[in-house]
Structure 1
Amino acid sequence: MKVVLLAESFLPHMNGVTHSLLQTLRHLERRGHDALVIAPRSGPIDHTLYGARAVLLPSVPLPSYPDVRVTLAGAHRLAEVMRAHDADVVHLASPFVLGWRGVLAAESLGIPSVAVYQTDIPSYAERYGVPGAAPALTRHLGRLHRRATLTLAPSSSAVERLESLGVDRLRLWRRGVDTERFSPDRRDDAWRRALAPNGEVLVGYVGRLAPEKQVEDLHAISTLSGVRLVVIGDGPSRAQLERLLPDARFTGFLGGDELARAMASLDVFVHPGESETFCQTVQEAMASGVPVVATGRGGPVDLVQNSANGWLYRPGDLDDLRDRVRDLAGDGAKRRAFGERARDSVAGRGWDRLGDELIGHYEAAMGRATVTTADAAASPPPGRASNAASAPHAPTRRRWRRYVAIGDSLTEGLCDTSRVPAGEYRGWADRLAMLLAVTGSANEPVAYANLAVRSRKVRDAVEVQLPQAAELGADLVSVLIGANDLVGRRADPEGLARDLGQAVSRLRSTGCDVLLVTPFLPRRPVTRFYARRFRAYNARLRELAGATGSMLLDVDAHPDLVDDERWAEDRVHLNAAGHRGIAYAAARVLGVRDASVLGELDRAVHEQEEEFARTAVGDAEWLLRHAVPWVRRRLAGRAAGDGRVPKRAQLLPVIVPATERTSRTAPVAAAQRAVRGE
């Protein structure tokens, strides 16, 4: 395969885009492909290009950031280079100026293009004091990625960002990490003593020192007792930051083994940037066994799992940042435990595997595989040992006509009493079925069955529900099961996932599509006892999704789906807001039209805190209403689902009101009313 790679920035300027590009070149060489790089000329290159040739074009420095250069070459010149290389595919690395001309050049030659989204340029513009340019830059970003044959996004937040701009040919492609170079074994006591002679806890940042990284926010932790702040990196903001953080140690730029040693020698890694599409340094810190404190926005949301491998603080809340760092700085045992989980969470994310995925995306763009819509919610599993970078993908928006839901009380819909008669429940699966119906064709109605029953376990799904779904001729099955097993006395997460996997494989062999949903728990102290089991089970589910070609809704990657306000008064089931959130997230995975917009509208329309206040009860009332009856059932050897049958055992048409069928000119509003049951 002959690949042309266009980069907006390149050597000798080292950043995330350059690093990813070099890893790609190395992998292409290993796999025997012929690569050529087109990039701005900005200085001598003393780094190997792994057998690739380079065409370096005249460029001018960006006035506010001279390390970034803009090339003036036009689309005609780029087309000449592509034609001379006889390119099979064009890789656009973080495209914007050169990338726009590159996609036009590729179009003129009929060459497929793969755009890799890595930089949120409009957000950067705001940080650099030109917010008025952001709307125009955003429009350009959307226009460029819509023109590309395929766009690769590094995180679920990046997928949603691009979807909001109308980009639809999307796939999730994460970043790899060198787990041999970045390792806890690199920890260097001598290096630590040089920076913290009095044994202070080393809290460090690694990255460019530039406005978009918001490094100035670290002043919130610079005065913490017993903490030494270390800033590793260089950039245009360094002088200003040195004045703002006089007690911090600035090391300047570090690379290679020197950076790996410094990273592993930190006690806590902090990243305050809110414009990160992925945040590679967070992943490198985790590989080094260092717990992370990062802002709860953008790429870090997919990497950091609260109270497992680090903390996500509320964006812009510097008091929360300070509290999270203080929590880890003052507890060595917690730092070690978080660090071990951090290391586990990036196992299997090597560049070789990510490189093979990239080649698969090239082949998809070239027509050797079906180009698909990204699994917007298939995020990397924070706190996981599996290869989260290899996320399954949803098929291009299919017209499913026979949807069957499998599961337990969550899929049955317990505690979602919104707009249904007393004693009945709706639930996220019911809402998803309505979304499928209202956004589909009026001439092809959707039939829906819900075989879920409260208290059911994996064995019931394997032996009863999944075979029954096959008998019904389902073309789409959702599976959310396992929580009741995992809170049992002798749970075997590996065995449970293996049994479920075999049953899912049998169902997939019939041609049925499967949506797997990872089980989840409320974030309360009592649930921590089961957290390890859930992590292990969900890690296997991710592997199962990839092995069987199933779709995956990874709830762990979207903590907002299960935040405190989304739980019902029994504290173990979702309320209406929680069920709505899962329904919209599942719809995004399935590629349902306007699903992202619907979710945003839902959050705007509903007062989630008010809904929670209506269902929340005090501890005494909770004990009387819910805890005591549960204990009595357990002592008697009974379960809440004993003797119950599915609420919708047969495929029945999903009835969409005629008013909604006539409102196709406003599909978003129609679908939102339908999923709310109005």
Structure 2
Amino acid sequence: MQRVNSRFQGRLRLSGVVIAGHPDIVRVAIVTESFLPHMNGVTGSVLQIMRHLERTGHDAHVIAPDAVGIPTSMHGASIEPVKSLALPGYRNVRVGTATTGRIAESLSRFCPDVVHLASPFALGWRGVLAAARLDLPAVAAYQTDVAAYAERYRVAATTNFAQNHILRLHRRATLTLAPSSESTQQLRALGVDRLRRWGRGVDAERFHPGARVEQWQRRSLDEVVVGYVGRLAAEKQVEDLRVLHGVPGVRLVVVGDGPARPRLTALMPDAVFLGHLDGHELATAMASFDVFVHPGESETFGQTLQEAHASGVPIVATGRGGPLDLIRMGVDGWLYRPGDLADLRMRVMDLAGDGRKRRAFGAAGRTAVEGRSWQAVCDQLLGHFEEARELQRVDRALRARRVLRPEPSQVGTARRWQRVVALGDSLTEGLCDPAPDGTLRGWADRLALLLSAGGGIHYANLAVRSRRVRDVRGEQLARARQLRPDLVSILIGANDLVRSHADVPALAAEVEEVVRVLRDDGADVLLVTPFLPDRRAAGLFAARFSAFAVHLAGIAERHGAIFLDTDLHPALASRPNWGEDLVHLGSRGHRFLAYRAGELLGVPHAETLGALDQVLHDVDATTKARWWREHALPWVWRRMRGRVAGDGRVAKHDGYVYIGRSSSMRGVEVG
């Protein structure tokens, strides 16, 4: 998704577009990673948003993972369950597996003004793609630090994937809401822009000091109850509380459930484990604690901390993440040094031994949260929705200005580009897309034919199989400049990214130099992200391709290039679009990509033409035996001999050929 630059954001702020009022009825589609019957922080936030939308007269529609017991409607909103799978280790937690097309269909039926993505990762990824496909503003609420969770589970490859995935997802969103200053800094360091702070509200009526029961879980009146509330999983670091063993007069009470519970009960046999509590029971437990402890270092916010403060309970929490914004040192709690369990023990002992300080800290905490009602927080959210809608309008205007789509009255009479050059490797050369006469076509050739519909163009295809980024920057760029094009397509990088060592930033820098030179020469540039087939083996390179695509998005923004993000078209990866060798697009895939590029460049009726073309062409799948014989083994043999398929080959159209109504790709060279 192309981004609006900082000067436009400044104009929006100065012109007062970001407003607290929202007089018009807004239709909000919520795509959430979690929902009822599973109750957690994400579900709780979504329910509060739904209540507020109902109270303020707005319309809502929720798309959530299907689960036994999920409601069909709630708080005036329709709930649409989609396919899901159980999360390993959490039988009751479902992960949405619906396709982008399925989400887009649901959004199309509801016709929202804005799409709200609640803690997006799996289902939210498809939600942001669907929103982009329908040209809808998307607001992504960052709530779960998935990358930190992956690191906690010591899976380095998964951590890198999670970070890249978070970056791509949030850069596609119109606006990202971060719950704390530290999460804002983390996202900004990853490269996420358009960040706004948005915290969470607290139900100060349910969580209240009046819910306290003095004898609750106490063996004697002078015993101090130190409590934890939350999921029992590795990323929560509940095992750190074992350091409290033996503290005189302290009784540790753990509320919550999860896969780590058997291990934790073995580690802390003196602690009381009450399992999952909610409603009145949870409010009673929270208010009956004397001290609330929070050891997790990967919390983006920390909703239970607010609930403890609302209950009048002082807090001891790790000095990292969300607690940094919620705890005032020496006023309503203590922050201990992350990882320093001796400091944790000392802070708990300080409060356990001083009832007067506990009461003062608890009262200060209650006062601090009284201004953080869900009504106030959700009013802020409606303001963010309005800003996202305005930013989307700015984005749309910028895209139209860059691409210069022809007006309907001009279609067929005006031509935007007359000299078109394609750069790249085998994908642009057209491997696995043979013409009837045996020559290769490919997506770029097909796009050239589409562009010639309004009048003839001169076209050159300089792509050669096996070429890499350095070849485009070298010989292909030099020849392209000689041809003085007014439109250049670039699809390159796949051959570099699948090598054993790929320096993604360095590759992107080379591509940026090519784009810069061509733009300085006055040419428009169509920059296309490389892509992978939907195969398990391809997943090894997914993180690299993801990171490279993010760099290309930035290049397009900086230099005003036309950006075709192939990830917005996940159908491209499906098997029917790939050729016999399973590593190149087949004819169907080349047609698909050509029409997507045509849509972006303003070719009249490109989407309709593409649909008709797909109906008229059906390609049968080949057998695996033929694939091994004709493609896999020859490739291995070439590599063993230190050769590549492009050795000795030259570009098929090193000079311009004229494409007009009566011409073909085998026209006369003119330059």
Structure-1-length-normalised TM-score: 0.53
Q: 1:72 pairs with 65, 84, 97, which one?
A: 97
Q: 1:249 pairs with 251, 265, 272, which one?
A: 272
What is residue 576 of structure 2 aligned with on the other side?
A: none
SS in 2 for 1:9: coil
Q: Distance in 2 between matches of 1:47 and 1:155?
A: 33
* Residue identity opposite 2:140 in structure 1: A
Shift of 1:46: 6.3
* Residue identity opposite 1:99 in structure 2: G
Q: Distance in 2 between matches of 1:359 and 1:198?
A: 47
Superposed, 1:56-205 pairs within 5 Å as 56-190=81-215, 192=216, 194-197=217-220, 199-205=222-228
Superposed, 1:494-505 pairs within 5 Å as none
* Residue identity opposite 1:150 in structure 2: L
| Identity of matched residues, % | 60
Q: 1:29 pairs with 48, 54, 58, which one?
A: 54
SS in 2 for 1:42: coil
Q: Distance in 1 between matches of 2:348 and 2:74?
A: 39
* Residue identity opposite 2:109 in structure 1: A
Would you say the 8 A contact 2:309–2:362 is kept in 1? yes
What is residue 296 of structure 2 aligned with on the other side?
A: 273
Would you say the 8 A contact 2:138–2:173 is kept in 1? yes
What is residue 45 of structure 1 aligned with on the other side?
A: 70
What is residue 16 of structure 1 aligned with on the other side?
A: 41
Would you say the 8 A contact 2:294–2:318 is kept in 1? yes
Is residue 347 of structure 1 aligned with residue 370 of structure 2? yes
* Residue identity opposite 1:98 in structure 2: L
* CA offset digits 1:503-554 (Å, max 9, x no partner): xxxxxxxxxxxxxxxxxxxxxxxxxxxxxxxxxxxxxxxxxxxxxxxxxxxx
What is residue 313 of structure 2 aligned with on the other side?
A: 290
Q: Distance in 2 between matches of 1:185 and 1:45?
A: 33
Would you say the 8 A contact 2:226–2:251 is kept in 1? yes
Shift of 1:347: 1.5
Q: 1:227 pairs with 229, 250, 265, which one?
A: 250
In structure 2, relative to structure 1, the CA distance for the partners of 1:22 and 1:223 (3 Å cut) is: same
Would you say the 8 A contact 1:365–1:371 is kept in 2? no
SS in 2 for 1:348: coil
SS in 2 for 1:159: helix
SS in 2 for 1:68: strand
Q: Distance in 2 between matches of 1:71 and 1:65?
A: 14
Is residue 4 of structure 1 aligned with residue 68 of structure 2? no
* Residue identity opposite 1:36 in structure 2: H
* CA offset digits 1:480-505 (Å, max 9, x no partner): xxxxxxxxxxxxxxxxxxxxxxxxxx
Q: Distance in 1 between matches of 2:394 and 2:206?
A: 34
What is residue 308 of structure 1 aligned with on the other side?
A: 331
Would you say the 8 A contact 2:174–2:391 is kept in 1? no
Max radius of gyration: which structure?
2
* Residue identity opposite 2:97 in structure 1: L
* CA offset digits 1:153-190 (Å, max 9, x no partner): 10000110110111111110010001111111111124
What is residue 16 of structure 2 aligned with on the other side?
A: none
SS in 1 for 2:39: coil
Would you say the 8 A contact 2:181–2:325 is kept in 1? yes
Shift of 1:369: 10
Q: Distance in 1 between matches of 2:135 and 2:46?
A: 24
In structure 2, relative to structure 1, the CA distance for the partners of 1:355 and 1:323 (3 Å cut) is: same
Aligned length: 371
What is residue 658 of structure 1 aligned with on the other side?
A: none
Q: 1:239 pairs with 255, 262, 277, which one?
A: 262
Q: Distance in 2 between matches of 1:223 and 1:151?
A: 45
* CA offset digits 1:584-611 (Å, max 9, x no partner): xxxxxxxxx9xxxxxxxxxxxxxxxxxx
Q: Distance in 2 between matches of 1:36 and 1:216?
A: 40
Would you say the 8 A contact 1:176–1:351 is kept in 2? yes
In structure 2, relative to structure 1, the CA distance for the partners of 1:369 and 1:310 (3 Å cut) is: farther
In structure 2, relative to structure 1, the CA distance for the partners of 1:83 and 1:118 (3 Å cut) is: same
Would you say the 8 A contact 2:243–2:345 is kept in 1? yes
In structure 2, relative to structure 1, the CA distance for the partners of 1:164 and 1:157 (3 Å cut) is: same
Residue ranges of structure 2 left out of the alignment (5+ in a row):
1-25, 396-557, 559-671
Q: Distance in 2 between matches of 1:237 and 1:51?
A: 37
Q: Distance in 2 between matches of 1:370 and 1:314?
A: 45
Would you say the 8 A contact 1:5–1:90 is kept in 2? yes
Shift of 1:131: 3.0
Q: Distance in 1 between matches of 2:74 and 2:218?
A: 35
Superposed, 1:502-513 pairs within 5 Å as none
Shift of 1:200: 1.0
Residue ranges of structure 1 left out of the alignment (5+ in a row):
373-592, 594-678
* Residue identity opposite 1:280 in structure 2: Q
Q: Distance in 1 between matches of 2:286 and 2:174?
A: 38
Q: Distance in 1 between matches of 2:305 and 2:394?
A: 30
SS in 2 for 1:111: coil
RMSD of aligned alpha carbons:
1.9
SS in 2 for 1:189: coil
Q: Distance in 2 between matches of 1:212 and 1:357?
A: 30
Q: Distance in 2 between matches of 1:234 and 1:70?
A: 19
What is residue 405 of structure 1 aligned with on the other side?
A: none
More moved, 196-205 vs 276-285:
196-205
What is residue 322 of structure 2 aligned with on the other side?
A: 299
SS in 2 for 1:367: helix
* Residue identity opposite 1:315 in structure 2: P
Shift of 1:134: 0.3
Q: Distance in 2 between matches of 1:47 and 1:320?
A: 48
Q: Distance in 2 between matches of 1:200 and 1:169?
A: 49
Shift of 1:70: 2.0
What is residue 324 of structure 1 aligned with on the other side?
A: 347
Greater than 4 Å deviation, 4+ residue runs: 368-372
SS in 1 for 2:157: helix
Shift of 1:198: 5.5
* Residue identity opposite 1:78 in structure 2: I
Would you say the 8 A contact 1:153–1:173 is kept in 2? yes
SS in 2 for 1:91: strand
Shift of 1:59: 0.8
Shift of 1:199: 3.1
Shift of 1:63: 2.0
* CA offset digits 1:616-672 (Å, max 9, x no partner): xxxxxxxxxxxxxxxxxxxxxxxxxxxxxxxxxxxxxxxxxxxxxxxxxxxxxxxxx
Superposed, 1:625-636 pairs within 5 Å as none
Superposed, 1:453-472 pairs within 5 Å as none
Superposed, 1:394-413 pairs within 5 Å as none
SS in 2 for 1:366: helix
In structure 2, relative to structure 1, the CA distance for the partners of 1:210 and 1:322 (3 Å cut) is: same
Shift of 1:370: 10
Q: Distance in 2 between matches of 1:179 and 1:301?
A: 21
* Residue identity opposite 2:117 in structure 1: L
Shift of 1:261: 1.0
Structure-2-length-normalised TM-score: 0.54
Q: Distance in 2 between matches of 1:327 and 1:76?
A: 56
Q: Distance in 2 between matches of 1:288 and 1:370?
A: 44
